[in-house]
Every structure is written in structure tokens, then in C-alpha cells.
């Protein structure tokens, strides 16, 4: 079964054709990064307009590269939540138009479920149940993926997402947008013990995260240095900050593994799962605890529509459908309750 999938939740307009949830026949991503770079972050209004400009052509290319016509696919899947509301609405409305004009079923897909499903493409043998750490620009979650469409949240951030904290810290250090990517590169030459940061924990909720204190700490270090006319050693500060963020992610993941002793599979998902320090430390954790680690290939860590086609397939099998009244939502728990 072939699914035409669309994604427009943030700053990438993407379309893909995916067969049986695992085989990518085409995947086209039009990124807006260059446009948002000059503002140091995503400008929602610009993002919406650029999605509207790109979505027809991106969809046309995805069908062409898969050697398909719309009549060759079996369903249209689209990201409907969570994300920037104006950006999501472009994809949702375009998908509704395609569904109405072709008679194809419309399948709404949760963005974070898609990030998890990117792993089904990279690892054809991966099946639930497993523990997943979802680390994206807007969300940080520890999820027990009980089945393809059955999720239990074990831990979540109480304030900033890990990606958001990395982006804000990088921006304060003068690194370009998207900060997490540049911080990863800058930190490679740095000493991760040069600065000490607090070890955040949420009282009474050992699997929850908090990154806002770390972010304030790094901003204070930079302001203090600026006031004294000193230059901030970006590589050392970046490496130390990244170490603190990754330590917190790894530590809670280890605790979550202990709460799910029968689950021997650990999966990473979301944009921050491209981070080299996080990937290396999770490899070590997997080795120490004897679990199998599944990492999405780098090209599928960021936003793309192939992952929407993968999750869309399982949502379709579970009977999920939307009508012409489908709306977009800026926030939505992964359990969709």
C-alpha cells in the first residue's frame, strides 16, 4: 500500500511516497533555513507563506520521483499537530484538497509519532514495544511505545525542550541558526569540563526533565564575560553545556529503562538525535545496560515526510481517518487523548 505523505509543521515543506510504512519511494524536503537564518530563529508568518509557495511543487516532485500519479496511491497522510499553527494549516488544507478531489482517504498524523516512525524506515526489523527518547526542537519526552499507535508517556520536560535550550544557548554564544547543529560542530574542539553546570532534576518526578535552569546558567556566564570585556571560549562553553544536556537525557533514559525491565530496545527520535555526543553516549548506555540501540539515520532525524508516511501507514491500519473538518493543533499530547 502506497501513502502520499505531507509535512509542514515548522520550517521544512516536505512530501514523500512510502510503501507499506517501511520503503521510501521518494522523499522531497524544501528547507526554509536560509530564509529564517537572518532572524536567528523561525518566523512563523514567513514559514506559513513559504509552505504555501512550495507545497504544490514539492508534492509534484515526490509523486514524479516515485513514478506515481495520485491515482496510484492509496491514502494521503498529513501532519496535523503539534507545530506552528499557520504552518500546519498549509499542509492540512492541501491534503484535504487532494483527498476531496481524488476520493483518497485522509490520515492525520501526530508529528512526534512520525519522528519515532523514522526508525521503522532505518531499521526494517524494529517493532514495538520499545522505550523511545524523543528529542526535538519543541519537545522532550520519554515514551513507552507499546504498539505502533499506543503510547505511554513516562517523562517529559517541565519547561524548555532540549533542542530549544541548545538553540537558545547557541544563539547567546553568537552561533548561527539552527543553533543545535552549529553547537554540535563548535563543541567538537572544546573541553566539556571547562565549565560546570547544575544537574537538573524534577523533585518527585525522576523521569521528567528541566532545561530552563541550564539555559539561564549559560546566558549568565556569557553576560558576565561580556560585562568584563572578556571573550567567551565558545568551544569549551558549548562542549560543557552540551555535556550537561546530554548527561540529563542519558541519566533519565537509564532510569526509564529500569522501570521497563522487559523492554530490551531503546530508540532515539527527533532533530536532536542527530547530535554526535548524544549518539555516542547512548551507545555507551546501551552497551552498559545490555539493550539494543536504534538510531534514526541522520537524513531522517530532522523534519521530513517519509516518517509521516511510515507512521501514516500504521495509523491507517489502525483505522484512523479524518474528514474535511480536520483541523491543525499547535499542541497535542502524543497519546492524542
Residues forming contacts to ligand KG4 in the complex (CB under 6 A) are: 10, 115, 136-138, 163, 166-167, 178-181, 184, 270-272, 274-275, 302-303
d(CA 256, CA 191): 29
d(CA 316, CA 177): 36
Secondary structure letter of residue 300 according to DSSP: G
The helix (H) or strand (E) run that includes residue 150 is strand 150-156
Q: How far is the CB of 281 from ligand KG4 (least distance, A)?
A: 13
Helix 276-289 and helix 179-187: axis angle, to 10°?
Answer: 70
Q: In this structure, are residues 323 and 106 in contact, taking their beta carbons and an 8 Å threshold?
A: yes
User: Which residue's C-alpha cell is 546530554?
Assistant: 246
Q: How far is the CB of 243 from ligand KG4 (least distance, A)?
A: 13
Q: How far is the CB of 271 from ligand KG4 (least distance, A)?
A: 2
Which residue lies nearest ligand KG4, judged by its C-beta?
A: 271
Nearer to ligand KG4, 252 or 275 (CB): 275
Nearer to ligand KG4, 63 or 156 (CB): 156
Nearer to ligand KG4, 1 or 298 (CB): 298
Q: How far is the CB of 9 from ligand KG4 (least distance, A)?
A: 6
Nearer to ligand KG4, 117 or 274 (CB): 274
Nearer to ligand KG4, 107 or 249 (CB): 249
The length of the chain is 337
Q: In this structure, are residues 135 and 163 in contact, taking their beta carbons and an 8 Å threshold?
A: yes
Q: CB under 8 Å to 242, separation ≥6 — which residues?
A: 166, 183, 184, 187, 192, 275, 277
Q: How far is the CB of 61 from ligand KG4 (least distance, A)?
A: 21
d(CA 119, CA 138): 19
Q: How far is the CB of 305 from ligand KG4 (least distance, A)?
A: 13
Q: How far apart are the first and last CA of the chain?
A: 28
> H-type helices in the chain, by residue range?
33-37, 44-65, 85-102, 111-122, 162-172, 179-187, 212-227, 234-259, 276-289, 306-317
Q: How far is the CB of 162 from ligand KG4 (least distance, A)?
A: 8
Nearer to ligand KG4, 60 or 188 (CB): 188
Q: How far is the CB of 177 from ligand KG4 (least distance, A)?
A: 8
Nearer to ligand KG4, 81 or 104 (CB): 81
d(CA 50, CA 65): 22
d(CA 166, CA 266): 23
Nearer to ligand KG4, 275 or 311 (CB): 275
Nearer to ligand KG4, 260 or 282 (CB): 282
Q: How far is the CB of 87 from ligand KG4 (least distance, A)?
A: 11
Q: In this structure, are residues 170 and 182 in contact, taking their beta carbons and an 8 Å threshold?
A: yes
Amino acid at each position: 500500500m502506497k501513502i502520499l505523505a505531507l509535512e509542514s509543521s515548522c520550517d521544512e515543506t516536505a512530501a514523500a511516497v512510502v510503501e507499506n510504512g517501511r520503503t521510501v519511494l521518494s522523499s522531497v524536503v524544501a528547507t526554509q533555513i536560509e530564509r529564517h537564518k537572518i532572524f536567528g530563529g523561525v518566523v512563523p508568518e514567513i514559514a506559513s507563506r513559504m509552505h504555501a509557495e512550495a507545497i504544490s511543487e514539492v508534492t509534484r516532485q515526490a509523486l514524479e520521483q516515485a513514478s506515481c500519479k495520485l491515482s496510484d496511491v492509496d491514502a494521503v497522510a498529513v501532519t496535523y499537530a503539534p507545530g506552528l499553527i499557520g504552518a500546519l494549516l498549509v499542509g492540512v488544507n492541501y491534503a484535504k484538497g487532494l483527498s476531496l478531489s481524488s476520493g483518497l482517504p485522509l490520515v492525520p498524523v501526530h508529528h512526534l509519532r512520525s519522528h519515532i516512525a523514522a526508525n521503522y524506515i532505518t531499521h526494517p526489523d524494529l517493532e514495538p514495544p520499545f522505550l523511545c527518547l524523543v528529542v526535538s526542537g519543541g519537545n522532550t519526552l520519554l515514551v513507552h511505545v507499546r504498539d505502533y499507535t499506543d503510547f505511554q508517556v513516562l517523562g517529559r520536560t517541565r519547561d524548555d525542550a532540549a533542542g530549544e535550550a541548545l538553540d537558545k544557548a547557541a544563539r547567546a554564544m553568537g552561533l548561527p541558526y539552527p543553533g543545535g547543529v552549529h553547537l554540535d560542530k563548535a563543541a567538537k574542539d572544546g573541553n566539556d569540563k571547562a565549565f560546570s553546570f547544575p544537574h537538573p532534576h524534577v523533585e518527585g518526578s525522576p523521569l521528567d526533565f528541566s532545561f530552563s535552569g541550564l539555559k539561564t546558567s549559560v546566558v549568565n556566564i556569557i553576560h558576565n564575560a561580556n560585562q568584563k570585556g572578556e571573550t567567551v571560549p565558545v568551544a569549551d562553553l558549548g562542549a560543557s553545556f552540551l555535556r550537561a544536556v546530554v548527561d540529563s537525557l542519558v541519566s533519565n533514559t537509564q532510569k526509564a529503562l529500569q522501570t521497563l525491565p522487559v523492554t530490551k530496545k531503546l530508540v532515539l527520535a527527533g532533530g536532536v538525535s542527530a547530535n554526535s555526543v548524544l549518539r555516542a553516549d547512548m551507545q555507551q548506555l546501551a552497551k552498559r545496560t545490555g539493550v539494543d540501540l536504534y538510531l534514526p539515520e541522520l537524513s531522517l532525524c530532522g523534519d521530513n515526510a517519509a516518517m509521516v508516511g511510515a507512521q501514516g501507514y500504521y495509523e491507517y491500519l489502525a483505522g484512523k481517518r479524518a474528514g474535511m473538518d480536520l483541523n491543525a493543533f499547535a499542541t497535542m499530547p502524543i497519546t492524542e487523548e
